[in-house]
Structure formats: C-alpha cells, structure tokens
Amino acid sequence: MTAFLTLHAPLWPVLLPIFGAGLATCLWKQRRAQRLVTGLCITLLLAASLLLLAAVYQQGILAIRFGGWNAPFGVVFVADALSAAMVAITGILAAAVMTFGLADIRRREEQAGFYPLMLGMLAGVNGAFLTGDIFNLYVWFEVMLITAMGLLSIGRNRARLDATVRYAVLNLFSTLLFLTGVALLYGATGTLNMADLARVLPETEPSINLTLSALLLLCGFGIKAGYFPLFFWLPASYHTASITVSAIFAGLLTKVGVYACFRVFTLIFSVEDSGIREIVAVLAAGTMLFGVFGAAVQWDVRRILSFHIVSQIGYMLLGLAISTQAALAGAIFYIIHHIIVKANLFLLAGAIHRASGTFDLRKSGGLMYRNPLLAALFLVPALSLAGLPPLSGFWAKFLVIDATFRAGEHWLAGLALFVGLLTLYSMSKIWMEAFWKKPVLPRAEARRVPRPMLLAIASLGALTLVIGFMPQPLILFSQTAAAALLDPSAYLSAVLPANPILEARP
Amino acid sequence: MHLLFAFAIAIVAGCSLYLILSRHIVRILLGVTMLSAAINLVIFLSGRIVTNVPAVIRAGESSLSADAANPLPQALVLTAIVIGFSLTAFFAALALQTYRSLGSVDTRHIDAAERLGSPFPAAKDRP
C-alpha cells in the first residue's frame, strides 16, 4: 500500500483535487457536504504533497509515464526537487487559506460553486508544477485560468466584473502567446517533451523560429507572472476578489508563471549565451522598481499588497537573470518565502477588514490598542517582506543580492537593496495607518476577528519564524534544487528511456 | 506555398489584434477568438502542411505508413480549439453580465475596480 502510494506520488496532488472538484460539483445543492468534501480533499492534498516531497528527497527525480507510452511520445509527470517543493508549499498554503475561508466564505459564494472552482484551480496549479510536457503545461495553464476567472467573478458585484474583464483579456492573450511559442518550438524541433527538447535543442541549428519561440514564451509567462511592463492586469484585479481567493491567487498564480520561466529557461533555453540575460535583467529591475512605486500611492491595503507582489517577482527574476547556482538557489528560497508571507499578508488584510470594517487605510486606525494580537501577527510577515533579520525575508533577499554582487552586477544589487527600503516604507505605511494612528471613524470597539482567521494567520506566521530562525535546511534544499536546474542530466535520464527511438521526427 | 499560408495567418492575426485593442468588450471577444484561430493555423503550419495520406493505421498493420500526415499537430489543434471554445463561452457570459450590471460594454466606463482606494478622482469626475 505504502509502496503503491509512493510509486505514484506525483499523481496524487493532481488527482485528489480533480476528484474532489468533481464530487463537490455532484453535491451542488448540499453546501455542508461540499464543505466536508473540500476539507477532506485539502487535508489529503497536504498529506500527498508532503509525501511527494519526502519521496523526491529520498529517491531523487520521480517520473510517471501515462498510458505506457515512453517519454518523447506520451505525456509525463516529473517531480524534481523544485516541483516537489512548489507542490508541498501549495498544499500548505491551501490548508492555511481554506482554514481562513471557514470564517470568510459567504453563503452566496458557496452556492455559486466556490469549492469546485477552488479545487479545480489547485489541480491546475499542481499540474503545471508537475508536468514534463510543454503542451501539457499549456493545458494546465488554461485549467488554472478558467477556474481563476470563475473565482474572481463569483461575487458578481461591479468591481469584480470589472476586474475579471481585465484579468480575462490579458491572461487569455498571454496563453495565446505561450501557445504560439509552443507551436514554433514544435515546428523547429518536432518534440514537445521538455526533457527531449533539452536533448534535441543543442543539436538543432539556431533559427529565427527558436529565438521567436523563446521570446514569446518569455512574454507569455511574463504576463502570467507579472513582469514589468506586462503586470498592469495584476493590481487592477487581485484586490477585488474575496480575501480567501485573493490570498491564494497572490501566493500561487503568479508563482506558476515564475516557475514556468525557471523551468523553460534552464532546461530548454539557456539564459547564458542568447542575449536573453540582458532582457531578463532589465525586466527584473523594472519589475522591482515599478511595483514598489505603484504601491506607494495607493490607499487600499489589498492594492498596496498587489503592487508588492509585482515588486517581489522582480527579485525572483533577478535570480534567473544572474543564473549562477547561488542566484537560482536564492530565487527558489525567495519563491517559497514569498508564497507564505504574501498570502499571510493578504489574510491579514482580511482580518484588518474584519476588525475595522474597511480596506481603505484612510478610514481605519487604532487597531494597535484594540487588537494587539493582530498587530503582533501583522508585524511578522510585514517585516519579513521588507527583509529585516532574523525573518525569512532577510535570508531570501540576502541570498539573491549576495549572488548578484558576486556575479558583478552591482547596479542590479544596489537597486534590489533600494527597493527593499521602499518596501519597508510601504509596510510602515500600513502599520501607521491601520494600527498606530487614532481611529478616524468613532467606534467604541474593534470587531472580534474569528478564530479560524487567527489560526491561519498564526500558523503561516509561525512558518515564517521557523524559516527565519532555521534557514539552513531550506537553503541546502534550494541549493540542491538549483544544482539540478543547472545540470539537467539527472532530469533527462529520469524521463527519457535508455535507448530512445530517434527517427520519429516530422 | 508556406509563404502564402504565413501571409494569410498574419492578416487574420493582425485583424484580431486590431479588434483586441478596441474599447468595446464584444469586439475584444471577437478579437481573442480570431487570434486563437490564427494560432491554431500556426500550429498546423509548424507541423508542415503537405498533401499526404491521412494518419490512419490500415487494418492488419501495426504502424503508420511512412508518407502519412503528422497526426500530432491535429491533436494539438483539436485540444486548443476545445479550450478556446470554453474560454470564449465564459468570456461571452462575462460580457453579458458586465452589460447587465454596469450598463455598458465600453471599457472607459468600467472602472469600479480601479476606484477602490485610489488616490485619484473617478474617471467621470475628472475634467
């Protein structure tokens, strides 16, 4: 039994939520049964993703071939260290955010199919992390996109419809760019399996098709991940959804784009010798800087945090632009830290809203005296995001910026430090306005924040503290993952059969 | 021949980009649909368009004959069509709901999300 579970470990994180989504759809009218199915499914998902992490840690890269077809022909699922870490963090985040959702999801949203959509989105995210086939990656992107649009528009109020229109147009466009890139790549190489592409591409002569394909993939993933200057849909849409949805979007969806970029530009294309490095460096600098500037003028907590997603994406991209092992390890550490902290901050925005009745910082205030526990819980992720020691953000920023200095890109490293300062400014703005200043609207008591919300926020905060005080295991893990990204020979030998059939090319 | 195909696809893609840049949501919808059609043609073209035998394994044989058409692009296009159709359906429903709730399909009049917490005055109050 255990052997069977471990043997198919990369399968469960995708199968469980799909199955749960189907079951929840069948139970459309029974909200309580749906809640039960979702709770059970998320718990199993957490267990399955941790099982996958353990299995990959012990046995190295796991690959599953579907339908008995060998690698270049059939679709494969591959779990290496990076994929397994992303899946594990998805499981943890889903569990925390759905705990928060116990107190946050409204009856109307439940009736409109919140649970099937959420589980479907988790399946899409995990599928994108695990697939080893670039066309299959496109399919998972679309699964993610359509469920995300459903979740965004679920409340059907005016702001959400506006947000969904913006989100839908730009994200549809991005997946179309991605698909064009895949088509050109297929035309040039005749294969779609990522491991096979990594094997074939060095022997393929460089052509305009390949360059175009690389740039289209960069643009497609760039819109998804929110790179400068393609990020405008993100702060225009993320702040309107309910907090449960916003938190999981903020934590996971853009990171899928970043993950896809990391995968494609280490395994298939190389950042090194193609002029892509310069483009990625400029994109990283712009993403960091303009994200943080955008946050400075906003007054809605959720919008400030949305702009900060963009800014933080820049640090991850910086890791890819430098592309040494240390930089990639820093970026992987950064992604994991960021998913936890950013989702936690969105949850805190929900708790602030619950306590003070508004998301608008100009109208809130006084939470420091009325709810000191909430204030303490806010400080952990806020200071971590700004990169203050000894929290997880400090180590993440330290690893990335140190690698940047070592690679001799001093202006990028200086910019990253400067952006860290501005991040601190934004966080202190939220602190001053929502917690420190006297309340603007006279109200005797802050409303009570429900227990599940506090539990979710506290557990993510505890995770931040644990990473902050014991970064060593995670740093070692990121370094292994980065080494595997830079040297894909283990990935290739795990996916491709020993003696592949070479003639099957168009 | 490939050049001719390429030009035809470029025209379709150009028209669709023009439609996507419009302010009218229904035109954007048509643009996205056309663009996904153009990209399906790109997939087809990248699988090499030649006159070949259909990709069907004859009775009694166990593999495709050597001059058969490449079946993979057809499978890819089929998948892309199905996905594109579902997204178009969703987007059409979204456009309808937007029109019902906001009373307009002009993106200049849709700024409900933009106004939340913005330091700037709403679009209709601006000079």
Structure-block tokens of residue B10: 């470029």
Quote the pLDDT of residue A503. Answer: 46
Average pLDDT, stretch B111-121? 74
pLDDT of residue A443: 64
Per-residue pLDDT at A449: 86
Interface of A with B in 200-239 (CB under 8 A): 236-237, 239
Span of A15-29, A103-117, B60-74 with lowest mean pLDDT = B60-74
Is pLDDT of A277 > 60?
yes
pLDDT of residue A505: 44
Residue A484 domain boundaries: 270-492
Q: Report percent pLDDT > 90 for chain A.
A: 61
By C-alpha distance, which of A313, A278, A296, A339 is closest to A416?
A313
B53 phi and psi angles, rounded to 5 deg: -70, 145
pLDDT interval class at A506 (50, 70, 90): very low
- Once rounded to an integer, what is the mean pLDDT over residues A161-176? 92
Please report, rounded to a whole number, the percentage of residues in chain A having pLDDT higher than 70.
Answer: 97
Name every residue whose Cβ is closer than 8 Å to that of residue B19 and which is 6 or more positions away in sequence.
Answer: B27, B28, B30, B31, B34
Residue A444 has pLDDT above 60, yes or no: no
The answer to which of A340-344, A397-401, B36-40, B118-122 has the lowest mean pLDDT is B118-122
Residue A61 identity (one-letter amino acid): I
For A26, residues 6+ apart whose C-beta sits below 8 A from its C-beta are: none
* Residues A484-493 pLDDT 10s: 999 888 888 8
Q: What is the model's pLDDT at position A455?
A: 94
- From chain B, pick out residues whose CB is under 8 angstroms from the CB of A186: 43, 46-47, 72-73, 76
Say whether residue A184 is in contact with chain B using an 8 A CB cutoff.
Answer: yes
B9 neighbors B16 (Cβ within 8 angstroms): no
> Are B111 and A162 within 8 A, CB to CB?
yes
Cβ–Cβ contact A392 with B under 8 A: no
CA distance A423 to A99: 28
Residue A371 gets the label, from left (phi > 0), alpha (psi -120 to 50) or beta, of beta
Query: Is residue A169 included in any domain, yes or no?
Result: no
Count of domains observed in chain A: 1
**pLDDT tens for each residue of A1-14:** 778 888 888 899 99
pLDDT of residue B20: 93
- pLDDT classification of A144: cutoffs 50, 70, 90: very high
In this complex, do B116 and A297 lie within 8 Å of one another by their Cβ atoms?
Answer: no
Q: Residue A42 and residue A44: Cα distance in Å, rounded?
A: 5
Please report the pLDDT score of residue A499 as a whole number: 63
Q: Are the C-beta atoms of A139 and B79 separated by less than 8 Å? A: yes
Dump pLDDT digits (tens) for A350-400: 999 988 888 888 888 888 888 889 999 999 999 999 988 889 999 999 999
Burial code (b: 16+ CB inside 10 Å, e: under 16) for A64-96 equals bbeeeeebbbebbbbbbbbbbbbbbbbbbbbbb
Closest CA to A347 of A317, A323, A372, A381: A381
Distance CA B16, CA B13 (A): 5
Contacts of A145 in chain B (CB under 8 A): 87
Average pLDDT, chain A: 90
**CB-based contact (8 Å) between A160 and chain B?**
yes
Asked if residue A331 is part of any domain, the answer here is yes
Residue A419 lies in a domain: yes
Q: Which residues of A touch B2 (CB under 8 A)?
A: none
**Is residue A471 assigned to a domain?**
yes
Decide: B20 and B39 in contact? Cβ < 8 Å. no
Among candidates B28, B48, B101 on the partner chain, residue whose Cβ is nearest the Cβ of A161? B101
pLDDT value for B86: 92
Query: pLDDT at position B7, please?
Result: 94
Interval B14-25: pLDDT, tens: 999 999 999 999
Structural domains of chain B, with CATH: 2-51+68-125 (1.10.287.3510)
Closest residue to B76, CB basis, from A135, A153, A158: A135
pLDDT value, residue A135: 93
- Residue A474 belongs to a domain: yes
To test the contact with chain B by mutation, choose from A69, A172, A189, A356 the residue with the greatest count of B C-beta atoms within 10 A, namely A172
Which residue(s) pair with A360 in the sheet? A300
What per-residue confidence (pLDDT) applies to B67?
73
Tokens encoding A505: 């090319």
* Residue B127: pLDDT over 60: no
- CB-nearest partner of B110 from A165, A173, A237: A165
* pLDDT level of residue B72 (50, 70, 90 thresholds): confident
User: Does A166 sit within 8 Å of B116, measured CB to CB?
Assistant: no
How big is the A-B interface in CB pairs under 8 Å? 126
pLDDT of residue B123: 55
Does the structure show a pLDDT above 80 at B124? Answer: no
In a domain, A33, yes or no: no
Residue A52: band (very low, low, confident or very high) from pLDDT cuts 50, 70, 90: very high
- Determine the pLDDT at residue B66: 72
Of A168, A361, A506, the CB nearest to B47: A506
Nearest to B98 among A149, A161, A188 (CB): A161
Residue among B47, B83, B101 minimizing CB distance to A156: B101
Closest-CA distance of chain A to residue B6, Å: 13
